[in-house]
């Protein structure tokens, strides 16, 4: 008997290739007599599908497995919506990089068959939760699988802020912003800002300044149990933004405080058995392949 009977599908909107892959996936799953449930927005793009539909948030409650068709951005959005349901998530890559969506469309049937037969590995990824407070009163919150980023928005001016970790003052800094990254996000925006690549199994958080005014400001890596507080300078004349995975934003005012910590819920990612993190890095980041031939 199949381990996964009710399978949800989420797809990136506005892509003909995504719709083509979803149609193929749907045919394959129905051919195995499985119950397929489409996320509402993608269902609207597939007239005559005759399948059950669900909101993204409720999809995790009615499914044993959710398959995301798209790029890493699609997976980030799905992860935040599905987190509390604890449903495992599998990605088919129809984007550019594919760090999180690791099944190639050309291998769709082969790899999905492996997963359905129980030949897969699981991986836990943590998220960050953030609360912005104004005069001590919460004015907004957000979750992030990749990163929480403080940045000037459309302004070209630097931001001045103070950073505290576990109640201890770390530094005051004038910079283009600050990236607080999970290991999952260490190969995303944080990497382009000079941050370290952190293996997904590490229980750590990266703190990466963006173009700091002082050359001595370097990325630091702290325990994932750390609680961070950023105080935006009250002398600031711009209204910076806090972004969550680059998809959701909160506008801050001078003097606001930003509180960041790890969420208690974790995302369960499913990978085919041949998934190799370092091979993904070699492929996506252009690392060199092995020298010589016939090595063990």
Q: What is the pLDDT of residues 242-292, one digit of tens each?
A: 999 999 999 999 999 999 999 999 999 999 999 999 999 998 898 987 886
* Of 72, 102, 147, 256, catalytic: 72
Architecture of domain 6-119+273-285: 3-Layer(aba) Sandwich (3.40)
Question: How does residue 195 score in pLDDT terms, banded at 50, 70 and 90?
Answer: very high
Question: What's the rounded mean pLDDT across residues 148-167?
Answer: 95
Q: Which of the residue ranges 115-119, 238-242, 291-295 would you say has the lowest mean pLDDT?
A: 291-295
**Is 127-264 in the same CATH topology as 6-119+273-285?**
no
pLDDT at 245: 96
pLDDT over threshold 50, residue 296: no
Q: What is the tens place of the pLDDT at every residue in 185-194?
A: 999 999 999 9
What pLDDT does residue 173 have?
96
pLDDT of res. 2: 56
- The CATH superfamily assigned to 127-264 is Probable inorganic polyphosphate/atp-NAD kinase; domain 2 (2.60.200.30)
Q: Which residues contact 64 (CB under 8 A, 6 or more apart)?
A: 3, 4, 5, 6, 7, 87, 88
With vertex at residue 203, the alpha carbon angle to CA 87 and CA 206, rounded to the nearest 5 degrees, is 110
pLDDT-derived band at 154 (thresholds 50, 70, 90) equals confident
In 145-235, beta strands by DSSP E: 147-151, 159-165, 168-175, 177-181, 204-210, 220-223, 228-232
Residue in 263, 266, 222 with CA at minimum distance from that of residue 129 = 263
- What is the pTM for the complete model shown? 0.92
72 is catalytic: yes
Partners of residue 145 on adjacent β-strands? none
Closest-CA residue to 232 (of 166, 148, 133): 133
Domain residue ranges in the chain:
6-119+273-285, 127-264
Burial annotation 12-31 (CB, 10 A radius, 16+ → b, else e): beebeebbebbeebbebbee
**Tens-place pLDDT, residues 46-55:** 988 889 999 9
Question: What pLDDT was estimated at residue 58?
Answer: 93
* pLDDT(96) > 80: no
């Amino acid at each position: 008997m199949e381990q996964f009977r009710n399978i949800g599908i989420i797809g990136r909107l506005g892509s003909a290739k995504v719709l083509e892959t979803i149609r193929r996936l749907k045919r394959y799953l129905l051919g195995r007599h499985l119950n397929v449930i489409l996320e509402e927005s993608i269902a609207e793009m597939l007239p005559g599908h005759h399948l059950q539909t669900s909101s993204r948030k409720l999809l995790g409650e009615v499914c044993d497995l959710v398959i995301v068709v798209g790029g890493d951005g699609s997976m980030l959005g799905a992860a935040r919506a599905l987190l509390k349901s604890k449903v495992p998530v599998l990605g088919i890559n129809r984007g550019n990089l594919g760090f999180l969506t690791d099944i190639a469309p050309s291998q769709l049937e082969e790899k999905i068959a492996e997963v359905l037969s129980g030949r897969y590995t699981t991986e836990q990824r943590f998220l960050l939760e953030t609360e912005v407070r104004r005069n001590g009163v919460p004015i907004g919150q957000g979750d992030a699988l990749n990163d929480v980023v403080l940045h000037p928005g459309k302004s070209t001016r630097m931001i001045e802020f103070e950073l505290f970790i576990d109640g201890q003052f770390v530094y005051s800094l004038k910079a283009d912003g600050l990236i607080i990254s999970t290991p999952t996000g260490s190969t995303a925006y944080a990497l382009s800002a000079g941050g370290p690549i952190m293996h997904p199994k590490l229980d750590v958080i990266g703190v990466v300044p963006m173009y700091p005014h002082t050359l001595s400001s370097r990325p630091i890596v702290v325990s994932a149990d750390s609680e961070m507080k950023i105080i935006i300078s009250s002398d600031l004349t711009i209204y910076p933004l806090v972004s969550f995975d680059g998809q959701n934003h909160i506008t801050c005012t001078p003097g606001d405080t930003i509180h960041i910590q790890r969420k208690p819920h974790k995302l369960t990612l499913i990978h085919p058995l041949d998934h190799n993190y370092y091979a993904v890095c070699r492929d996506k980041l252009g690392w060199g392949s092995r020298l010589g031939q016939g090595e063990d």
